[in-house]
Structure 1
Amino acid sequence: MIAIHFEERGNCSRLFDELRGYMATYKPYGFGGAVEKNSEATITVRYENKDVDFYESFHPFLASIFAEYVIETKEDEWLMDIAENLFYFTDEEEKQQIVAIAQAILQGDRNDIPSVKPHFDRRAFLYDAFASHLNPDTTFYYEPFLTFRLKEYGEMLIDCIELAIDEYLMEQDYQAMVENLRHYIRITPARLPMVYLVHKDMFTFYDEHFRELTAEEMAYYLKQELVFETGLDFSEMVISPLVSMAPGHVHVFTDEPDHGVILTIQAIFQERLTIFPLQERH
């Protein structure tokens, strides 16, 4: 028997429901066990299968449930707390956006962001932490365990929030720059009636007569205050010279309409931009 004690009354209800559900699911497969809620702060888990060793079956089962339970019930709360109390983000919407980015990083959905401790598996860490402290015929104190035994996990969450904040601020800067360039296009008379942009490995500019623009011509149009791709050589810039030309219309020929540069151009020029398959340039 393991008695699981919670410091705050009522905190054990969700875990009790989850444990009871898992018990019922696996009982037809010979998984013998019972779970009881003795009070609003204590759960008792009983292992009833005498034919299989506790540490070979019930023990890994409990450790897995606890590991997942922490991720489901505590992770977002801790990430929000870190964003507010360590990095002083108090606006609720900002915190939610930062935590959403952090969760995407943790789930491996943001390959554009360096991994947080790439060899740190939070599920495996939590599993091992619980497995080393869940023993039969003992009382397991849940909140103190979270406070004193998950330091490395907490440090990983801090690192993750740091990365998420950097990404959030970069995204905010990006959106502000896109809006500024969009405003410039709206209020500036067209300097060229049409620009054709052909994307095939690289971007090539053509005027309304489909004559390729030279580097000198593009440099003539470039306005330094409109430079979007800071840190790039002029020869690598696409968005900055295009916006500086303030064309009445932009036709883009590409087989990669979801390319990052093209999505940004689309966000800036909106209805003044049309995308065609690359083969239609002929």
Structure 2
Amino acid sequence: MTDEKPRSHGRIKVQVSLQPRDLMEEPRRVKGAWEARIVTLFPEAFPGVLGLSLTGKALDQGLWRLETLDLRTFGEGKHRNVDDTPAGGGAGMVLRADVVHRALRQASIGVTGERGRWPLVYLSPRGRRFDQAMARDWAAADGVTILCGRFEGVDQRVLDHWGVEEVSLGDFVLTGGEIAAQAMIDATVRLLPNVLGNAASTEEESFSDGLLEHPQYTRPAVWEGREIPAVLMSGHHGEIEKWRRAERERLTQERRPDLWEKRKP
């Protein structure tokens, strides 16, 4: 027997469910943790690479949460249809407004506050291009809801109704938004507190201040006749920082003149 009181779970959040669950198999849920909600026809695609390495460890620790909503469950009729032919004709199929609306309504449960605190995003090649600044904005929010498109896209009416922000991974077309969603979530989650373990590791990365990252080296000191730059072996931290800054500026001017132009006053 002991007089010691049982320890509280502290910041761990308990979620009530109508369905039996194996709690030992579920990741911990930390109250107030950043959350990604994904509306997709392929929930089995998640967590994918997000379940590996540091993002996967952080997910297991409850530092962030991932919830997928299967769009098919909101479909119409016996076969749970989610799409139909484009109005006006054309190739492919379009995700129905009523189906997507039901899914977004479910995904919005528990989301409070201004949209800036919880962006609602549709992944589309015609959207604003995702960048490091957007990743920082998302990381500073409470979470993000992402609609992964398929086929020829989504009925515009539901996007307008919900005021969905369209975001693009780049100037190319994918078969669906799942890969793009994982890339954007990865870029965001790594900026959350305690995920990388060393906040300084993000300070000089590419795009952190509009510059590309400097070259990196490690042992052996000489490989295939190529030596590590002498300044990096000098132990003179001031000179090392000057060299790294100069390399970042040189690489940015050479490889991303568009970024360099933005830095000019």
Same-fold call, TM cutoff 0.5: no
* Greater share of residues in helix: 1
Normalised TM-score (structure 1): 0.22
Flag the structure with larger Rg: 1
Normalised TM-score (structure 2): 0.23
